[in-house]
Amino acid sequence: MTTEVTVEAKNEVEAKDKALKKLELKVDKKINKTDLELELIEEKSGFLGIGKKKVFRINLNEKEDEVEESIDDLGKEKEDEGSIENSEKETEDEVEAEDGDVELIIDEEGVYIQLTPPEGNGEAVSLIEVEEILGAKEIEDVNYDKISEALTEDIYEPVKVAPRKEELDRNAEIRVDVSADGMKAYLSTSLPLGGKEATLTRIEDTLEEVGVTYGIKNEKLKELVNDEEIIDEAIERVLVAEGVEPLLGKDAEVNFKFNIKSEEKKVQKLEDGSVDYRNLNRINNVKPGDILATKKPTKPGTPGTTVTGKDVKPKPPKDKKIPSGKNTILSSDELNLQAEIEGQVSYNGDKIEVMPVHTVNGDVDLSTGNIKFVGTVVVEGDVRDGMEIKAKNDINVKGSVHGAKLEAQGEILIKNGFIGKDKGEIKADGNVQVRFIENGKLTTENDLIVTEAIMHSDIDAARIIRIENKGLIVGGIVRAGREIDAKVVGSNLATKTKIFVGITPALRDQYNNLMKKLEDYQKELDEALKTIKYLKKRQKEDDGELSEKERNLLSQKTRTRFKVAKNIEELKKEKISLETRLEEGKNGKIKVQDKLYSGVEITIGTEVKKVTKQLSNLQFYVADGEIKKGSYS
């Protein structure tokens, strides 16, 4: 019967000792070394090529009768072992166990071993332990008789076991490896073979020799050595120095002060939970001086340091420029961009521009949302139902307006018609030009020019209304401050049509109300000025001292003064406009070139006339307090 084990050992003696223990556990009986067959199957090298180890295969050959005998004797041995173990346990309880130890001493005279006896139930030093120490140091010409004598006779004083061979002495090797980027240094050491130990001083000298002077981990070095400042075991690639990486700076940043993604459609949810599909706020309106973009300059980084003390420059930060474009002003330090004109600011990925005209390349509908712009709005298509356009300057629609609202502080031009659907409305401070108006409401502070017809609408023009070509006015109410000029007014069906020119009662009431407001504001301003004058006089008399109540009153009246003065200024401008209309209205005219149908009601100023029969080629005016008619020309 054959039993086999594999062990790693320095030599054959050690291999047999290790195998003996393993095999005895396997077969559960005592084994003679003579029954072992040993075979070397592999050799291994230790760290830095020092301390070779071998792998052995050991076979145990047993005879059949020996196996049977061992089985028969097993019960008896177990009983004997039990009594021995109980006896040993009693001794263990009395003395604390401590294994023996062996120390290798190398001096000028030779190589010695120094044994330390075990204590209590501790184990004595074995031959294997002694051989391991000698093998690790690669000691040659070992006197195993001396070793055996020391072990068996318990000699606890230095015993010479080999001669000293200086040519085999080797110092502990100390190697420092610096990483490719110079940021880390690693320490590796081997144990000495009769030579110099890896002391802290030698390690520090080696670091200095390879140029490692920065970031040395002194606390780590102290952890690696013993009380005698010696590394007493081999180590490999332990980090002992570390540099400082450079800190990157900050790239320049351009911060846009408007929504550069405003072209994207954004539906807004209202407070009541409904959704507003019309007011998408897609236009960025700006006025002169508005900040469009700012720049944060680059911030330099901080240099790093390698373990050899070299500076490592950080990667330079990237600079950026504010992409200024048309109608913008870049500050002298290039850190701020302002709008030069009033208009729409946009960023096309290349430039920031302010344009005075906002163009819709198609219809104004739910896809564009309502438009509110501080410049001129141009619509290439139609304005659809329910949409709104507000412009500080002009509005130019190249299609038609359907049930929508347009409001401009300048002129409004509609190439085709305005179909109001009884909900659309147009307001303009300047002139309005349109092909036709149907079921709509229109107000202008200037002239209205219609190239075809006004049908069933509510129209109010501060100056002149002129209908060209077909020249038709039918149904609804049409008012003008100075003159209405048409070709056909009314219809043969006597459609109810009202025409107003000149100073209307509503205009007169508006003027009177404005004058009353002006008077009230002037009284409020005079009272505020009077109170301010009194309190300042008191303050001067009392050496600048006023009570808290008086100080609050002075502050309140000062605010009132500026607020009321501003209101008076605005009302005076409106007063001038109304007075101009009133003056022009005194000479109001209604001119009809072709046909004025029966059923039309004409009002000039406060005078009213109903047309009872069809007339043509005439004009109406007021003279001597009544409406009179004359030739069209």
pLDDT for residue 235: 92
pLDDT in tens, 556-573: 989 999 999 999 999 998
Taking phi over 0 as left and psi of -120 to 50 as alpha, with beta for the rest, 68 belongs to alpha
135 confidence band (pLDDT: 50, 70, 90) = confident
pLDDT class for 426, splitting at 50, 70, 90? very high
| Average pLDDT of the residues in 474-479 | 96
- The angle formed by the CA atoms of residues 278, 284 and 289, to the nearest 5 degrees, is 150
Judge whether residue 284 has pLDDT over 60. Answer: yes
- Could you give the percent of the chain with pLDDT greater than 70? 86
- Using the 8-state DSSP alphabet, how is residue 319 labeled? P
Q: Which residue has the higher pLDDT, 43 or 515?
A: 515
**493: pLDDT strictly greater than 60:** yes
The model's pLDDT over 444-467, given as tens digits with 9 standing for 90+, comes to: 989 999 999 999 999 999 899 999
Q: Return the number of other C-beta atoms located less than 10 Å from residue 594's C-beta.
A: 14
Q: Are 380 and 362 in contact (CB under 8 A)?
A: yes
Among 75-89, 254-268, 362-376, 517-531, the least confident range: 75-89
- 3-state SS, 388-455, equals EEEECCCEEECCCEECCEEEECCCEEEEEEEECCCCCEEEECCCEEEEEEECCEEEECCCEEEEEEEE
Decide if pLDDT at 73 tops 90: no
> What average pLDDT does range 469-487 have in this prediction?
94
Segment 84-102 mean pLDDT: 62
State residue 47's pLDDT score: 40
User: What pLDDT was estimated at residue 50?
Assistant: 41
Give the helix/strand (H/E) hosting 175.
Answer: strand 174-178
Q: In whole angstroms, how far apart are CA 315 and each of 246, 302, 312, 629? A: 8, 10, 9, 91
Q: What is the CA radius of gyration of the chain?
A: 56
Query: At 411, which amino acid appears?
Result: E
Average pLDDT, rounded, for the chain: 85
DSSP type of residue 216: B
Strands 405-408 and 425-428: parallel
Cα–Cα nearest to 224, from 184, 171, 188, 170: 188
Any idea which residue has 């075979």 for tokens?
Answer: 39
d(CA 625, CA 609) in angstroms, rounded, equals 12
- In the three-class reduction of DSSP (H, G, I as helix; E, B as strand; rest coil), residue 552 is classed as helix
pLDDT at 508 over 90: no
C-beta of residue 563 within 8 angstroms of C-beta of residue 587: no
Angle between helices 144-152 and 127-136 (to 10 degrees): 140
Query: What pLDDT is attached to residue 614?
Result: 93
Inform me whether the pLDDT recorded for 623 exceeds 70. Answer: yes
Strands (DSSP E) contained in 468-513 are: 472-480, 483-489, 497-501
Higher per-residue confidence, 256 vs 196: 256
Closest CA to 375 of 346, 341, 350: 341
Tokens representing 66 are 């020996």
In this predicted structure, what is the pLDDT of residue 536? Answer: 85
The tokens describing 545, both together, are 């001292």
Bridge partners, 354 (sequence order): 345
In angstroms, rounded to a whole number, what is the distance separating the alpha carbons of residues 401 and 415?
Answer: 9
pLDDT, residue 204, reads 94
DSSP state of 181: T
Compute the average pLDDT of residues 536-559: 83
Report d(CA 477, CA 490) in Å as an integer.
11
How many whole angstroms separate alpha carbon 66 and alpha carbon 480?
138
> How would residue 265 be classed by pLDDT, with cut points 50, 70 and 90?
low
Local structure of 462: helix, strand or coil: coil
288, pLDDT greater than 60: yes
Distance CA 468, CA 466 (A): 6
- How crowded is the C-beta side of 233, counted as CA atoms within 13 Å? 5
Query: Across the strands, what pairs with 57?
Result: 6, 39
User: In angstroms, what CA-CA distances link 322 with 66, 258, 352, 459?
Assistant: 99, 14, 8, 49
Q: pLDDT at position 264, please?
A: 53
Lowest mean pLDDT among 151-165, 208-222, 231-245: 151-165
336-339 vs 328-330, strand pairing mode = antiparallel
Work out the average pLDDT over 362-369: 90
Q: Give the pLDDT band (50/70/90) at residue 504.
A: low
Percent of the chain with pLDDT over 90: 50
The domain segmentation of the chain, as residue ranges, is 4-60, 101-166, 174-242, 253-355, 382-506+587-631, 509-582
State the greatest distance between any 2 C-alpha atoms of the chain, in Å, as a whole number: 160
Closest by CA to 581, choosing from 432, 446, 459, is 446
The top-scoring range by mean pLDDT among 24-33, 59-68, 389-398, 533-542 is 389-398
Distance CA 500, CA 9 (A): 124
| Main-chain phi, psi angles of 148, to 5 degrees | -60, -40
For 253-355, CATH gives: 2.40.50.100
CB atoms within 10 A of CB 397: 26
In 3-state terms, what secondary structure has residue 476? strand
Judged against a pLDDT cut of 70, whether residue 68 lies above it is answered with no
Q: Quick check: helix, strand or coil at residue 380?
A: coil
